[in-house]
Amino acid sequence: MESLNPFIDTRLLVIKIGSALLVDPDTGQLRSDWLSALSSDISAIRKSGVKTVLVSSGAIALGRTRLGLIGKKLTLPEKQACAAAGQSLLTQAYETALNTYDINTAQILLTLNDTENRRRWLNARATIGALLELGVIPIINENDTVATDEIRYGDNDRLAARAAQMLGADTLILLSDIDGLYTSDPRNNSQARHLNLIEHIDNDILEMGGTANAKTGMGTGGMATKLAAAQIATQAGCYMCIMDGRENAPITRLVNGERCSWFKASHNPKDARRQWIGGHLNAKGLLTIDSGAEKALENGKSLLAAGVVGADGSFEKGDTVQIMSQSGREIARGLISYNAEETRKILGKSTVQIAEILGYDYGAALIHRDNLVMSL
Ligand code: GLU
């Protein structure tokens, strides 16, 4: 298959490193040999002219060890304390390992708002872009210390995909403790089949990710979040790979053909603004629409209030909402032109009734087609 050798075809590579690779789950100690071998991989990639960004977990795991909390169930403030104590160790570890190869590193801590607010997104993009131009390797993590549940990613898979999308990366590699996507969970099903290549992410593929948590649609860092990451990355024209990165020198092994799952980049990436809307992680509301509206959206039309049968959540004008079918399938995401209270008053009503009911209108469409992105 084409374009799968990161050393040859990629200009900008994002590598996501899971906690279990960097920190020994039993001892809580940094896996220094593994990190040295990864640094050698990164140095080789760099010499071949590929820019690299790392998204690394491990702050909480290292902080646990530092603060004597290994094996303890942590409260949210304790987790945040561990993240604060561990993040400096994490940065130090990368700095030491990469400096051996004369590579400078820089720490970037992002919160969900940095990618969900367009201005902050553009700002973060400019900073990371400048670092790359200066030959520095940015090391991104979530700013766990200040992020509370409602405003956090919680997993670095989607954070890495948003970063790849933000930077226009060609390839995203998720280094994990599983060698890719299986038709069902291989831990419970011996018949589960490994998939080498996923050309298109459809509902069948999404179901292979397992049952999702009802509120966010995610289990932290599981296959569901990896598939959500794959959707964001591939729609941005970026190839994504899930591989088992536990053994030393995973990137060298990947180039040498180690088994993994590749997700093919879309040949027609959505424009930058649509990618940003479609990849939004914190939809503020949920609209349920009837089958007529579903057809209209499929034909590229705007969403009118008449086709909406339900509106949940508290959202403001301009927020991102999910648009669901009556059977509960996500159809699209979009930036809504009315707030939640207004939407509940006008749903099911024809366009001419909007001004009568509200005393004003912001246009005929509840969500204009320019602000809509289909989900699959
Ligand atoms: N940001 C968390 C950490 O550094 C990890 C999140 C994840 O596991 O994906 O510990």
Are 240 and 289 in the same domain?
Answer: no
Q: Does some domain include residue 337?
A: yes
In a domain, 5, yes or no: no
At 120 the three-state DSSP class reads helix
Which tens digits make up the pLDDT trace of 278-331? Answer: 777 778 899 999 999 999 998 889 999 999 999 999 988 888 899 999 998 889
How much distance in Å is there from the Cα of 182 to the middle of ligand 1? Answer: 24
Q: Which of 253, 275, 297 is the last residue of a domain?
A: 275
Strands 171-176 and 239-244: parallel
Residues 109, 154 within the same domain: yes
pLDDT band at 213 (very low <50, low <70, confident <90, very high): very low
Number of domains observed in the structure of the chain: 2
Are residue 59 and residue 91 in the same domain, yes or no? yes
Residue 271 shares a structural domain with residue 287? no
Span 51-55, average pLDDT: 96
Domain with 337, as residue range(s), is 283-374
CB of 57 closer than 6 A to ligand 1? yes
CATH number, domain containing residue 207 = 3.40.1160.10
Is residue 4 a part of any domain in this protein?
no
What does the pLDDT look like over 68-92, one tens digit per residue? 998 889 998 998 999 999 999 999 9
Which of 212, 244, 275 lies at the terminal end of a domain, its last residue?
Answer: 275
Rounded to whole angstroms, how far apart are CA atoms 159 and 110?
A: 9
Residue 293 and residue 368 in one domain: yes
Q: Within the chain, where are the H helices?
A: 6-9, 19-22, 32-47, 59-66, 76-99, 112-116, 118-133, 156-167, 203-208, 223-235, 250-255, 272-278, 291-298, 340-346, 351-358
Report the distance separating Cα 85 and Cα 234, nearest Å: 35
Atom of ligand 1 nearest to the CA of 156: 9
Residues 112 and 142 in one domain: yes
Q: For atom 2 of ligand 1, which residue has the closest CA? A: 57
Question: Is the pLDDT reported for residue 144 higher than 50?
Answer: yes
The answer for 237, left when phi > 0, alpha when psi is -120 to 50, beta otherwise, is left
Looking at the whole model, is its pTM more than 0.75?
yes
Residue 210 lies in a domain: yes
- CA of 17 relative to ligand 1 center, distance in Å: 9
Q: From ligand 1's centre to the CA of 185, what distance in Å?
A: 23
Distances (CA, A) of 129 to 44, 85, 110, 273, 346: 21, 28, 15, 18, 44
Q: Are residues 224 and 301 located together in one domain of the fold?
A: no
Domain annotation covers residue 3: no
Residue 6 lies in a domain: no
66 and 174 assigned to the same domain: yes
Residue 72 lies in a domain: yes
Helices 59-66 and 76-99 meet at what angle, rounded to 10? 100
Specify the range with the lowest mean pLDDT, choosing from 87-96, 136-145, 197-206, 273-282: 273-282
Confidence tier at 119 by pLDDT (50, 70, 90)? confident
Q: Which ligand 1 atom sits nearest the alpha carbon of residue 159?
A: 9
Atom of ligand 1 nearest to the CA of 62: 10
Distance CA 73, CA 371 (A): 42
From 275, 302, 327, the end of a domain falls on 275
Asked if the structure places residue 213 within a domain, the reply is yes
